[in-house]
Structures are given as C-alpha cells and as structure tokens.
Amino acid sequence: MWLGGTFKRQDIDEALREDEIIPAISPVGYEADKRSLREKVIRKQVKANERKPFDELFYEDTIQTPIKEREKENHPMYRYLELIRLAPSASNKQPWRLIVKKNKLHLYLKRTPHYGEKLPYDIQAVDMGIALAHLEVGLEFDNRRFKHYIDDEHYNYKDLEYIITYEII
C-alpha cells in the first residue's frame, strides 16, 4: 500500500530541507489483524476494494479495441496487466491506460480533471510510478527480460498523456 495523503506529514517535515517534499510513502511490515475505524472509513470513501474493469484500462493495438473482460485470462500479457490493475492509486482513480501491441506495452496517463491541483506534486504521476513498479516486480519475478523507453512512434490520443513503453524481450 502506498500512502499519498494520509500519513502525518509533521512527523517527517523536520527531517526535510525547505525545498524537499515526500509525495508518498510505503509502510513496511505486516497488515494489522483488525483495521481501525479511521482506515475503514477512508477505504470506503476511496472505494479501495473496487477496481475498474479490464476493458476500461487495457486495449489491443489501438484505444478503440478494449481487451474484453471475458477474454482477459487468455491474453498473453494478462498476468502483468492484472498486476497493474490491482496497483493502488490515490482515491482509487486508476489513471493508467495501456495499449498492448504484441510484446510492447504502451502506457498512458488519463488524468482526472482538476484532481490534485492543490497538491505541491503530481499525485497522478505518483500513481503511474506505482503501476510501473507493479509491472516491473512481476516481470522480474518471472525472470522476464524487458526494456523501457520513450517510443517516438507512439500514437497521440486525445485525453491521454503518453508516458513510456515497455518491451518484453
């Protein structure tokens, strides 16, 4: 779990210089046997246990061809796409969109208008980093070789910001 806004900033502020921020932290340890009332309320508000359907996040070759929910488990990249789908994100926005072209995953960011504007950092960029970490950990766990790069030939889609391409070798 990543915490982008619920940790006590004053607990770490004194260790930072004036020009530094920590946009998110990751707790280390084991999950408590029982959640606090505060955690239950926050998780319910952000719909932490709900995830967007597969066909809203992942596409084959073009943004016009969603990977159907009923076909997802037969997809050769299913395992890695599911790891990304399950990644936590601020307010559970799940801003990532992926277009799969054979062994390439083109990652895009679909911003929520005005979301996080008052924060001193880009919370949806943090979400993308978390999703990418989930992808890389899965690939490394499976001993899959990959490279990532900016694909100069990526397609520009309205309302989507191209981030990076992963090529699984």
Neighbours of 51 (CB within 10 A): 16
Q: Can you give the pLDDT at residue 5?
A: 53
Phi, psi of 23 (to 5 degrees): -75, -25
Among residues of the chain, what percentage have pLDDT more than 90? 52
- Secondary structure, 3-state, the chain: CCECCCCCCHHHHCCCCCCCCCCCECCCCCCCCCCCHHHHHHHHHCCCCCCCCHHHHEEECCCCCECCHHHHHHCCCHHHHHHHHCCCCHHHCCCEEEEEECCEEEEEECCCCCCCCCCCCCHHHHHHHHHHHHHHHHHHHCCCCEEEECCCCCCCCCCCEEEEEEEEC
pLDDT tens across 84-110, in order? Answer: 998 888 888 999 999 999 999 999 999
Q: What's the rounded Cα separation, in Å, for the pair 169 and 149?
A: 13
Domains of the chain: 10-168 (3.40.109.30)
Q: What is the model's pTM?
A: 0.80
Residue 1 pLDDT greater than 60, yes or no: no
**Using 50, 70 and 90 to split pLDDT, how confident is the model at 28?**
low
Please say if the pLDDT value at position 71 is more than 80: yes
pLDDT, tens digit, 9 for 90 and up, residues 131-149 = 999 999 999 999 999 999 9
- Which is more confident, 44 or 77? 77
- Asked if residues 83 and 54 have their Cβ atoms less than 8 Å apart, the reply is no
Residue 6: pLDDT band (50, 70, 90) is: low
pLDDT for 160: 96
Name which of 34-38, 58-62, 129-133, 151-155 the model is least confident about.
34-38
Average the pLDDT over 159-167 and give the result.
Answer: 96
